[in-house]
């Protein structure tokens, strides 16, 4: 009986997804309702629901609702395989980061796999996600990244890492570069500065796999600076090391499916009142209450629960 019911649900969802892709004009909202129903069915399956419950405890229902809202709001994600969306969101859940793309903590980005012809969703860290994970380690007193506009950069010495920055001297909205800074609890400090040309060279090198540069250049530039700063000189927890490696692979293509084309999507990171202030150790979503203790609740074999893959798709053949 159970197998018959599962098969019936699988066939129904497959037919619905096929109709959505072939006849999107039949749905007044471009297929969002149909795809939303598919995602809801996946989230209701015992294996997937229990995984989110295990990782997020009493916050699981709210997070799963945010997945549905994310898919409804982004037509590009509606072309992705449902299980890839669930898996990408599971990574964000395990890191205790919201998937609301406007917040800038984590992005769920659609890619087209040219080999299989499928569109799959991939998790990527936002720059605020990097800052949040760094603060959770308990090793950082301050950490931040800022955009420096024309006139604001008084001086920069790459050797001594002395950067003099005065936002009161801003002359225009022309960007000179991006600066990142952190101070550890033991007093160690590090400052980096990337010129606009350096950021642009980085973008051109990796734009084939990261077209979110086109829709949110500043957020990606700040992320590049923060990631470089932490990756080279920061103290990384096990949780952050895995998130860092996965994010680098997603952007550079190293370790990711080759020759993938990203699907264009609009991203907007909302400014916060403290965007220009140094982040301290009491900011961010659910700070002090991480989703798990690194490896204990993330699923056997990985601290990010990445084993929630296509082979666990409850509606797969």
Residue 22 — very low, low, confident or very high, per pLDDT cuts 50/70/90? low
Average pLDDT over every residue of 225-243: 92
The dihedral formed by the CA atoms of 28, 33, 34 and 38, expressed in degrees to the nearest 10: 170
Distance between alpha carbon 167 and the CA centroid of its chain, in Å? 29
Average pLDDT over every residue of 68-89: 91
Contact 178, 317 (CB under 8 A): no
145 DSSP 8-state letter = E
Q: What is the pLDDT of residues 118-137, one digit of tens each?
A: 888 989 999 999 999 999 99
- In three-state form (DSSP H/G/I as H, E/B as E, the rest C), the secondary structure along 232-255 is HHCCCCHHHHHHHHHHHHHHHCCC
Residue 201: partners with Cβ closer than 8 Å, 6 or more residues away: none
Q: Which pLDDT value is given to residue 260? A: 35
- Which is higher by pLDDT, 306 or 213? 213
Query: What gap in Å lies between CA 94 and CA 136, rounded to an integer?
Result: 14
Residue 260's beta-bridge partner residues?
113
Query: What gap in Å lies between CA 317 and CA 183, rounded to an integer?
Result: 52
Query: What gap in Å lies between CA 19 and CA 33, rounded to an integer?
Result: 12
Q: What are the angstrom distances between the C-alpha of 15 and each of 11, 18, 206?
A: 6, 5, 37
Q: Which pLDDT value is given to residue 102? A: 84
Task: Using the predicted structure, report yes or no on whether residue 21 has a pLDDT greater than 50.
Answer: yes
Q: What is the pLDDT of residues 235-271, one digit of tens each?
A: 998 888 888 888 888 776 654 433 333 344 443 444 4
Task: Please state the domain extents for the chain.
Answer: 2-312
Query: What's the full length of the chain, in residues?
Result: 317
CA atoms within 13 A on the CB side of 210: 29
Residue 195's beta-bridge partner residues?
177
């Amino acid at each position: 009986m159970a197998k018959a019911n599962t098969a019936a649900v699988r066939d129904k969802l497959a037919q619905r997804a096929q109709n959505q892709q072939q006849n999107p004009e039949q749905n007044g909202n471009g297929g969002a309702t149909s795809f939303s129903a598919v995602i809801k069915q996946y989230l209701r399956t015992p294996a997937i629901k229990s995984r989110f419950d295990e990782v997020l405890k009493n916050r699981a229902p709210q997070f799963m609702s945010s997945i549905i809202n994310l898919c409804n709001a982004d037509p590009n994600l509606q072309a992705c395989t449902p299980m890839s969306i669930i898996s990408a969101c599971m990574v964000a859940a395990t890191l205790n980061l919201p998937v609301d793309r406007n917040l800038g903590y984590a992005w769920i980005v659609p890619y087209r796999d040219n080999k299989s012809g499928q569109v799959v969703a991939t998790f990527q860290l936002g720059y605020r996600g990097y800052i949040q994970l760094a603060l959770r380690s308990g090793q950082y007193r301050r950490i931040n990244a800022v955009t420096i506009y024309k006139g604001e950069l008084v001086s920069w010495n790459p050797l001594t890492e002395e950067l003099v920055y005065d936002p009161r001297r801003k002359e225009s909205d022309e960007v000179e570069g991006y600066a990142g800074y952190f101070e550890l609890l033991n007093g160690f400090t590090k400052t980096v500065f990337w010129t606009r040309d350096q950021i642009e060279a980085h973008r051109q090198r990796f734009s084939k796999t990261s077209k979110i540069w086109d829709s949110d250049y500043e957020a990606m530039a700040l992320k590049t600076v923060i990631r470089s700063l932490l990756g080279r000189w920061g103290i990384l927890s096990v949780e952050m090391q895995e998130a860092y490696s996965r994010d680098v692979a997603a952007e550079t293509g190293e370790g990711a499916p080759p020759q993938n084309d990203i699907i264009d999507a609009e991203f907007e990171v909302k400014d916060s009142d403290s965007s220009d202030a140094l982040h301290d150790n009491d900011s961010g979503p659910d700070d002090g209450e991480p989703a798990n203790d690194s490896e204990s609740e993330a699923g056997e074999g990985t601290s990010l629960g990445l084993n929630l893959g296509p082979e666990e798709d409850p509606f797969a053949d």
